[in-house]
Chains A and B, each alone.
Chain A
């Protein structure tokens, strides 16, 4: 592509300004606020604010609850990203094999993406609520002791499944597009070369959709870190006993429920750093192993 050179000096900035304005209002402004807040301490009544330097960060990082929340976040994010991607990949490869009604099948699989996170959370809550959920009832009838309100492992499973379910559609869409862009003759050549459908999937399809998989890995990790607040809030509220309190959830809890603004701001700054780091690592190390067409 050739570089477009604008004759005027103002026009390029004018064209960029809406994007810059939006980013400024919704990212730079709150981010700078968080940065500023993170070095302040406010008394419980909001009457007095003092500058405390890095004290907020020190106390946050020394807090065993915070470290517990970090562990929860790692487990939750890895499980959610893996589940969402594996399920979507499986569905996409199944969709490739469908001959009749392929369009309908795809449309139906894309719908969950249009469901708001809180609504998705409620959906799963209703299905698996120990008191009224249909599936909870079925699980207990089958002899399984289902009680996510008390059992941390079950609570975690439930939020992971709910969060992954919400993301499957998105991943599915990308996987389907990636698989369709693989020339049919490659698959045919592999079939003639004696590779069965499973072998073809692992040795031809998967390597060729690696760029998409890598992209989705980044997106899903960021999603699990940041975009799952609504689901956790609706399904478990971080409980039982903080078993599903992720870092994002804790930011909200400490800041808006316990009104410890300085600590909450310090946490969001740490979170921001983690995500920047994570994305950088992914691009640096994972991308190297990816073959681009």
Chain B
């Protein structure tokens, strides 16, 4: 059990790629922090610097109050779960789990006890004598988790551990990882680019963009009050509607579509509305209204996403419960209340 503290951590790869540009973050003991961001934003690099697999160009990483910059991965008391699982193919599952303990001189009886405990939690007991090549993807994933658990480390590091699984298994493992992390209360850093995974797993979510932190907060904070238009677009599915605002003297118009009744203020560059905040029909108290021609309706089960275009050519998505009666080609009005509007300035920063 330990906290992890990153202070102005930077990474410049040989060749000059600045992968991480000054990240500071405090991860509390027992907390699960999820690093999320688009491909190439430096998530893996940051995680690997914590693990000790990548040198730290500047700044410090501390685990449990101890600066670990110069320590070997083995000396950092962390365990990592890799995207490709990285199980030793020539060893049985049992040997895979025992390897890290043996290397640290754990007594055989203790190794056996921990393997049995982990095998029971992860339901891998029937496969202990098989080789990784004889397991399914989901079973390998469990073994990889088991290898991390038996070590009883100060922190777990996950680098997209579920991205090689099919959708159903991914949901199942996601729930399981969450439950496991809660019950073990081990500090965890989890990297993913799947925002749904990020939202459901995180105690706190860190959105990275271009090697910098865009925003840190609980998933719900990020969802309800995205600090930047980048976070607004990244978190949530379908993504938030972002409409560029064009100043026309005193008035502000949205060439993307719609009328804005509420005063937007002069600094607003982008207006954001979540798909679930747009409701069909015109309302008198609406702060935003737009006229749409329905382009497509996606039924995803419990709800439908309606994609529409405004006469000006802007695109809007909104959400309706259940099977929608709306048909493509139909014309309709949508509106949103004042509280539902997210306003972003010219730099993409949230206003108010």
The winner among B89, B100, B133, B151 for most chain A CB atoms within 10 A is: B89
- Please state if B79 and A192 are interface contacts (CB–CB under 8 Å): yes
A164 CB, nearest partner CB in chain B, Å = 28
Pick the contact of B100: A183, A194, A291 (CB < 8 A): A194
Given contacts A188-B53, A291-B89, A293-B89, contact A194 B103 (CB under 8 A): yes
Chief secondary structure at chain A's binding surface: helix
Tell whether, in the assembled complex, residue B86 and residue A185 are in contact, meaning their CB atoms are under 8 Å apart: yes
A189 to chain B, nearest CB (A): 4
A189:B74 contact, CB within 8 angstroms: no
**Cβ of B230 under 8 Å from chain A:** no
Closest to A193 in B: B100
Q: Quick check: B74 and A183 within 8 Å, CB to CB?
A: no
Number of A-B contacts (CB under 8 A): 61
Q: Is the CB of A190 within 8 A of B53?
A: no
Q: Is the interface of B mostly helix, strand, loop or mixed?
A: loop
Measured as residues with beta carbon below 8 angstroms from the partner, the interface class of chain B is: 20 to 34
Whether a CB of chain B sits under 8 angstroms from the CB of A161 is: no
Assembly CA distance A71 to B82 (angstroms): 52
Contact between B88 and A186, CB atoms less than 8 A apart: yes
Contact A190 B99 (CB under 8 A): yes
Q: How far is the CA of A187 from the CA of B277 in the complex (A)?
A: 49
Chain B residue, CB-CB nearest to A182: B89
B205 interfacial by beta-carbon distance below 8 Å: no
Interface core residue of A185, A192, A210, A291 (most chain B CB under 10 Å): A192
Residues of chain B within 8 A of A194, CB atoms compared: 74, 100, 103-104
A199 CB–B CB distance under 8 Å: yes
| Chain B residue at minimum C-beta to C-beta distance from A191 | B73
The reply to whether the CB of A87 lies closer than 8 angstroms to some CB of chain B is no
**Is B242 close to A, CB under 8 A?**
no
Q: State the B residues within 8 Å of A (CB).
A: 51-53, 72-74, 78-80, 82-84, 86-90, 99-100, 103-104, 133, 147, 151
Given contacts A186-B86, A188-B82, A192-B51, 5 further A-B contacts (CB under 8 A): A192-B80, A193-B100, A194-B103, A195-B103, A207-B90
Q: Which residues in A have some Cβ–Cβ distance to B below 8 Å?
A: 183, 185-186, 188-196, 199, 203-204, 207-208, 210, 291, 293
Contacts A/B (CB < 8 Å), 10 sampled: A185-B82, A185-B84, A188-B73, A189-B82, A191-B74, A192-B53, A193-B99, A199-B103, A204-B88, A293-B133
